[in-house]
Amino acid sequence: MGDILFLAHRSPFPPDRGDKIRAFNVLKHLAVNHRVHLVAFADDPRDLESKDGLVPFTTSRTILWRGKSRPRALAEALVQRRPASLTAFDNRAMHDAVTDLLGREPIVTRDGGPLTDAKGRRSYVTSAGSGPSVGKHLLMAYLPPDQAVVGNELAVEYFGELYPVTVAVAGATPLFDPENARIRS
């Protein structure tokens, strides 16, 4: 049973119109075998009032009011030279909600013990992404100096499960082409 982040342009509950019915049925299907974390917009006050109807299908749910009007989204799109659908749903609260779910995962010992620095601050992931040039998924993390040692085997806690990680680089040395040979050629 894994975790799924379900992003929706409109809250799927109550399922009382086409797009909401479709999203609700997908959500119900996913909830059978997964822990679903829902982040969605509301553009009707009933969507905010009906949030509890999602409890049986979601592990967590964040419903945000989409307060940007269509004319404002269109004006932003023209000024920014971006598609109107992107400006309509560009929302800081949505970004923060997703970051809270996906960001700042704890870095722990392989057996799950906490890592703290001399001031008691916990270690955590600061950013993550795919590294196609090195063929690996990469994490950047805040680690205490005594743990930031190349080859140190740690773990990242992600939705309650531990995943093994190894310190590949400590400091400012890049993982790909550390001598800058590629750029010099």
Q: How many domains is the chain partitioned into structurally?
A: 2
- Count the residues in the chain: 185
Are 50 and 40 contacting, i.e. CB atoms less than 8 angstroms apart? no
Q: Report the alpha-carbon distance of residue 1 to residue 36 in Å, rounded.
A: 10
CB atoms within 10 A of CB 74: 13
Running along the chain, 185 residues long, what does each successive block of 10 average in pLDDT?
86 93 96 93 90 93 89 92 88 82 84 91 85 85 92 89 91 81 78
Q: Report the alpha-carbon distance of residue 182 to residue 177 in Å, rounded.
A: 7
Give the structural domain span for 55: 2-102
Q: Do 19 and 54 lie in a common domain? A: yes
Read off the tokens for 117. 């620095």
pLDDT at residue number 160:
77
Given 39, 70, 102, the domain boundary residue is 102
Please name which of 57, 47, 49, 52 lies closest in space to residue 24, comparing C-alpha atoms.
57
For residue 128, give the CATH number of its domain.
2.40.30
Given 102, 117, 133, the domain boundary residue is 102
Q: Do 119 and 33 lie in a common domain? A: no
Q: Report the alpha-carbon distance of residue 14 to residue 120 in Å, rounded.
A: 45
* CA–centroid distance for 61 within its chain: 14
pLDDT at residue number 35:
87
Q: How far is CA 150 from CA 20, 57, 143, in A?
A: 49, 42, 12
Q: Report the alpha-carbon distance of residue 1 to residue 4 in Å, rounded.
A: 10
Q: Do 113 and 159 lie in a common domain? A: yes
pLDDT at residue number 167:
94
Q: Is the pTM above the cut of 0.75?
A: no
pLDDT at residue number 109:
94
For 148-168, the three-class secondary structure string (H helix, E strand, C coil) is CCCCCEEEEEECCEEEEEECC
pLDDT at residue number 19:
92
Q: Report the alpha-carbon distance of residue 120 to residue 144 in Å, rounded.
A: 10
Please name which of 21, 19, 50, 23 lies closest in space to residue 36, comparing C-alpha atoms.
23
